[in-house]
């Protein structure tokens, strides 16, 4: 059955990959971008099934307006994909106030307000799905990504609570947790100015690794990752958390096991 999807941040990365795959299989997509030129090629080849809307997630009134127009035009939206976001890179002390504020406004507040804007429409139509892009970094933390982790851990807690609040309305949530993926994420990092005091710390080591063209781990194929996300959203009973990739599984399993061991060690005194 043909579905209608709304995807934020559809101009590149996983948002673009999902948009392409969904259009190829015949679904309808409402794609939000900051610059419509980014999807001009897809509009040419899918003018009947693709609608492109301009949206900046840091503008809350605009979110409500665009979401209202999208549901009004489509009649029904089956899956909302909250994908827009980016990473800020640097030790907490290195980051500037405006970098922190912009990261939170986009990744956390923007995602929260997008979901809130969609909820009354999803309730009114009798349900739907929300797929929120998180990350391995929604359950694991690495040096030099502290504020990025704050947004991803924050949105995971928000979604887990809202999923319980709205389950009776037929609204399902999925937290997608991909590991390192072959997208432009690392290229588009908002990088803080390095402080020499952090050169010989784990943050400095990560900075040098990126400067030398390395990454935290091997990168998964974006097309395969997008396909797995679509399959999860299509499933009869989707998981709340969708772990994507060997690296993501390994790092999340290790982090959760370590946390559980630490908790259990405190049982006699807790």
Summarised one tens digit per residue, pLDDT across range 38-80 is 899 999 999 999 999 999 999 999 999 999 999 999 999 999 9
Task: Spot the catalytic one: 82, 135, 146, 148.
Answer: 148
State the Cα–Cα distance between residues 6 and 79, nearest whole angstrom.
6
Catalytic residue among 152, 198, 203, 248: 152
Res. 187 pLDDT band, cuts 50 70 90: confident
Integer-rounded Cα radius of gyration of the chain: 19
Model confidence pLDDT, tens digit, residues 246-268? 999 999 999 999 999 999 999 99
| Structure-token pair, residue 245 | 């990739």
User: Which domains does the chain possess?
Assistant: 4-265 (3.40.50.720)
Mean pLDDT of the chain: 93
Active site residue 3: no
- Neighbouring C-beta atoms of residue 208, cutoff 10 Å: 12
Encode pLDDT of 144-164 as tens digits: 999 999 999 999 999 999 999
Q: Are 171 and 127 in contact (CB under 8 A)?
A: yes
| 11, 82, 134, 248: the active-site residue | 134
152 is catalytic: yes
Write the pLDDT tens digit of every residue in 16-41: 999 999 999 999 999 999 988 989 99
Q: Residue 217 above 60 pLDDT?
A: no
Q: Give the predicted TM-score (pTM) of the model.
A: 0.93
């Amino acid at each position: 059955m043909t579905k209608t999807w709304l995807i934020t941040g559809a101009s590149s990365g996983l948002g673009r990959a999902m948009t392409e795959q969904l259009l190829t299989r015949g679904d309808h997509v409402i794609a939000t971008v900051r610059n419509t030129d980014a999807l001009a090629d897809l509009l040419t080849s899918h003018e009947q099934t693709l609608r492109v809307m301009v949206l900046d997630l840091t503008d809350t009134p605009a979110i409500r307006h665009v979401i209202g127009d999208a549901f009004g035009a489509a009649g029904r939206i089956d899956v909302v994909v909250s994908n827009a976001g980016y990473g800020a890179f640097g030790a907490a002390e290195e980051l500037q106030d405006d970098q922190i504020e912009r990261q939170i406004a986009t990744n956390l507040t923007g995602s929260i307000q997008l979901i809130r804007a969609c909820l009354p429409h999803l309730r009114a139509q009798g349900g739907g799905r929300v797929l929120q892009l998180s990350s391995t970094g929604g359950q694991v933390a690495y040096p030099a990504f502290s504020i990025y982790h704050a947004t991803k851990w924050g949105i995971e807690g928000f979604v887990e609570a809202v999923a319980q609040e709205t389950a009776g309305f037929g609204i399902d949530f999925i937290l997608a947790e991909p590991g390192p993926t072959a997208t432009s994420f690392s290229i588009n990092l908002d990088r803080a100015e390095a402080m020499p005091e952090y050169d010989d710390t784990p943050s400095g080591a990560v900075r040098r690794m990126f400067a030398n063209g390395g990454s935290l781990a091997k990168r998964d194929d974006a097309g395969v990752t997008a396909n797995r996300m679509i399959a999860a959203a299509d499933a009869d009973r989707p998981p709340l958390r969708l772990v994507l990739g060997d690296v993501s599984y390994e790092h999340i399993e290790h982090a959760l096991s370590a946390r559980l061991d630490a908790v259990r060690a405190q049982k006699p005194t807790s």
